[in-house]
Amino acid sequence: MASLKKTQKDKIIKPLKAFFQDRDEVSMAFLFGSRARGTSCRESDVDIAVYFTPREKRIEIEELASKFKAEDEIWSELEKILKKDVDLVVLNRASVTVADLALKGIPILIKDRKTYLHFMLRVSRQASDLRELIKDYWRLKESMHS
Domains and CATH numbers, the chain: 2-145 (3.30.460.10)
Confidence of residue 26 (pLDDT cuts 50, 70, 90): very high
Whether 31 shows a pLDDT value over 90: the answer reads yes
In the chain, count H helices and then E strands.
Answer: 5, 4
Tell me the per-residue pLDDT of 63-111, one tens digit each, with 9 for 90 and over: 767 789 999 999 999 999 999 999 999 999 999 999 999 999 999 999 9
Q: How confident is the model at residue 6 (pLDDT cuts 50, 70, 90)?
A: low
Listing from the earlier edge strand, what are the strands of the sheet with 86-90? Answer: 86-90, 46-52, 26-32, 106-110
Residues 11 and 84: beta-carbon distance below 8 Å: no
pTM of the model: 0.81
Cα(86)–Cα(102) distance, rounded to whole angstroms?
14
